[in-house]
Structure 1
Amino acid sequence: MNVSMRQLRAFLAVAGHRHFRRAADALHLTQPAVSRLIADLEAELDVRLFDRSTREVVPTEAGRYLEQALSRVLDELDGVLAHARALADPLRGRVRIAAVPTLSAALVPLGIARCAKDHPSLEILLRDQTQAQVLDAVRGGEVDFGLSVEPATAEEFDTETILRDPFRFVCREDHPLASRSAVAWKALAHEDLVLLDHASGSRRLIDTAFASRGIPVNVTLEVGHPHTAFRMVEAGLGVTVTPALSLDAMRPGLVALRLNPEVHREVTLVRRRARSLSPPAQTAWDTFRDAALTLA
């Protein structure tokens, strides 16, 4: 059938107003134009839709059925089209992101707060996950983009480094190294180390920093989050090397010192290679980049 949206909307207008002229006024058309649309629709369907008199227009049985069915279908269609239009609005929509724990606790709140202030119609959904889970979620299209430590397999993704986050040495105030202004990596050779486990993107970089300098390490505890490492250090179970962004969770009685030479991890926005972001996701991506500049 060759039925147009103009014909269907003209039919609903006439059925609703029970009058051709009032329907024409509502549609901003002339009465002959509306009459022609109805006549063409009836011819296409091969059924009479209205009983006409000089005083009123009344839908036939077929017309009443079509009016009820079309009202529901066109409402759903309008909803679908409105949703499609919203997806193209860079300032409105839902954005799904995944972030590693040290960023979820530091950079992500700042980015979400800035989105809420500058773009209140953006809804940010966060997954707080390990490095491997963040990359898997991006790879599988479960999230629009991720915030991670520089991925070891960067060729799989399109990435943008937004911040260089230095590592810091953390110990108790009564530790022999606590009074120094900075600590050399080689000074940690005989320390009991409490480090993030290998699910963390930072652990690979910490291990590389020790190995590249030929420094033997004694890892006594591996934990999943810097907050846990700080509690272990507080209990006298060792010292830790942690990203500077995690220091907000550091407890009283602990000291954070620069490491010499300074080693950084690159905080990276990650998305699927050769896949464009939706306009709302691009707005969120840009907002998180700007938030990182504030931290820097």
Structure 2
Amino acid sequence: MNLTQRQLRMFVVTATLGNVSRASEALHLSQPALTRALQEFAGQLGFALFRREGRGLALSREGARFLPIAQRLLREMDHVLEDVRDETKGVRGAVTIAVGAAFGSTVLPGVLRKFAEDYPLVRVRLIEDDSGPIMEHVTRGEADLGIASLVGDPAPLYCERILRAPIGLLLDSQQFTVAPDQTEQALATLPILKEALGTSTLHALRSSGSAVVSRMETGIELSSLTLQIALAKAGVGVAVMSALGASNPAASGLQFTVLKPAVFREIYLVHQRQVPLSPAASVFRDTFWSHLPVLQSTLKIHPAVAFFNTSNANANANANFNADAGPGA
């Protein structure tokens, strides 16, 4: 079966817009021509792609399953064409990276700055999400690379460990008091903000049987790192996050106290095992690992964060963590 870039693009655009008329305008085709082309494509595939729903179209069950495959194939075709158009200008194309807020707001900016300097012709697209969905984005081919904790089935993915960070309590020390060796006893009196389902922090806490989980049930539920820090600063509650999340510049001035018994979150760089990385994704991965040891000398990261597969450059980074983090840091 020979699937063309044109067929895939017509299907993806129509599926996204849910309307043949709008899709034909976007594709600069007549509506009858697009309808015929989609029917021929469905006949070639051997299953219906759409079903009528009111005045518009809805994906059939088979069409819904095929859509992420078509998106991945289309992206790979686009990558190939962009990479071969003008090799004399160096690596070009696009790379999509799915990443969580904690890593994306602390470590990733420095990597992206270096990557943009070295590969100005490569476009970068970021998807911010929780670890579970990040793993799914990469497994389905919606992202070339993911930076996440291993939530779900990692079997389809090649996983390279980046760092390990303990989970702790982020709070305003003017409102609440927690001794470093009494975090478990303090839980009974603290208003703990609740982690939403699917976050890597909640996954790690549940896997370890931490007492924090039961204390979250009556708290305000949220999954945004920005909101967690804002509510902790306002004294609304106590946020539960990793030492990496607590390294966010917005958390300056708040106290971070590591949980005891300790619970850790590990973060990995992941990509598909069976699908080779595009040239753009490959050079991003290479830049990531080569620049990370250099970057650590300038990062303001909590000293409890331990990096792997790098040099001991983080020894200097530990000294740079914001001194305003409080006595629990």
**What TM-score bracket applies, with the shorter chain setting the length?**
0.5 to 0.7
Secondary structure, aligned partner of 1:238: coil
| 1:217 corresponding residue in structure 2 | 215
**Cα distance per residue 1:161-202 (max 9 Å; x no partner):** 111122231111124534x34553453244321133113222
**Cα distance per residue 1:211-237 (max 9 Å; x no partner):** 256984243122121221122223333
Which residues of 2 match residues 28-39 of structure 1 at below 5 A? Answer: none
Which residues of 2 match residues 54-73 of structure 1 at below 5 A? Answer: none
> Is the 1:144–1:281 contact (alpha carbons within 8 Å) kept by the matching residues of 2?
yes
Give the direction of change, closer, same or farther, for the CA distance of 1:81–1:263 in structure 2 (3 Å limit).
Answer: closer
> Is the 1:196–1:225 contact (alpha carbons within 8 Å) kept by the matching residues of 2?
no
Considering fraction of residues, name the structure with more strand: 1
Q: Of the two structures, which has the highest relative contact order with CA contacts closer than 8 Å and spacing of 6 or more?
A: 1
Distance 1:287 1:141 in 2: 21
**Cα distance per residue 1:227-277 (max 9 Å; x no partner):** 211222233332122122222244465211233343321111111222221
State the Cα RMSD in Å. 3.0
Distance 2:118 2:287 in 1: 9
Give the direction of change, closer, same or farther, for the CA distance of 1:249–1:200 in structure 2 (3 Å limit).
Answer: farther
Which residues of 2 match residues 102-117 of structure 1 at below 5 A? Answer: 102-117=102-117
Identity of aligned residues (%): 25
Q: In the alignment, is residue 226 of structure 1 matched against residue 225 of structure 2?
A: yes
> Is the 1:90–1:280 contact (alpha carbons within 8 Å) kept by the matching residues of 2?
no
Aligned residues: 215
Which residues of 2 match residues 18-167 of structure 1 at below 5 A? Answer: 83-84=83-84, 91-167=91-167
Give the direction of change, closer, same or farther, for the CA distance of 1:83–1:250 in structure 2 (3 Å limit).
Answer: closer
Give the alignment's TM-score, normalised by structure 1: 0.62
Q: What's the offset of the Cα at 1:290?
A: 4.1
Secondary structure, aligned partner of 2:286: helix
Q: In the alignment, is residue 242 of structure 1 matched against residue 241 of structure 2?
A: yes
Distance 2:118 2:291 in 1: 12
Give the direction of change, closer, same or farther, for the CA distance of 1:114–1:83 in structure 2 (3 Å limit).
Answer: closer
Q: What's the offset of the Cα at 1:112?
A: 0.9
Give the direction of change, closer, same or farther, for the CA distance of 1:108–1:233 in structure 2 (3 Å limit).
Answer: same
Give the direction of change, closer, same or farther, for the CA distance of 1:120–1:252 in structure 2 (3 Å limit).
Answer: closer
Q: Which runs of 5+ in 2 are unaligned?
A: 1-79, 300-306, 308-329
Secondary structure, aligned partner of 2:192: strand
| 2:272 corresponding residue in structure 1 | 272
Secondary structure, aligned partner of 2:117: helix
Give the direction of change, closer, same or farther, for the CA distance of 1:239–1:87 in structure 2 (3 Å limit).
Answer: farther
Q: Which runs of 5+ in 1 are unaligned?
A: 1-79
Give the direction of change, closer, same or farther, for the CA distance of 1:252–1:286 in structure 2 (3 Å limit).
Answer: closer
| 2:286 corresponding residue in structure 1 | 286
Secondary structure, aligned partner of 1:105: helix
| 1:199 corresponding residue in structure 2 | 198
Secondary structure, aligned partner of 2:148: strand
Give the direction of change, closer, same or farther, for the CA distance of 1:82–1:112 in structure 2 (3 Å limit).
Answer: closer
> Is the 1:100–1:130 contact (alpha carbons within 8 Å) kept by the matching residues of 2?
yes
**Cα distance per residue 1:68-96 (max 9 Å; x no partner):** xxxxxxxxxxxx97743668998433211
> Is the 1:168–1:256 contact (alpha carbons within 8 Å) kept by the matching residues of 2?
yes
Distance 1:121 1:161 in 2: 28
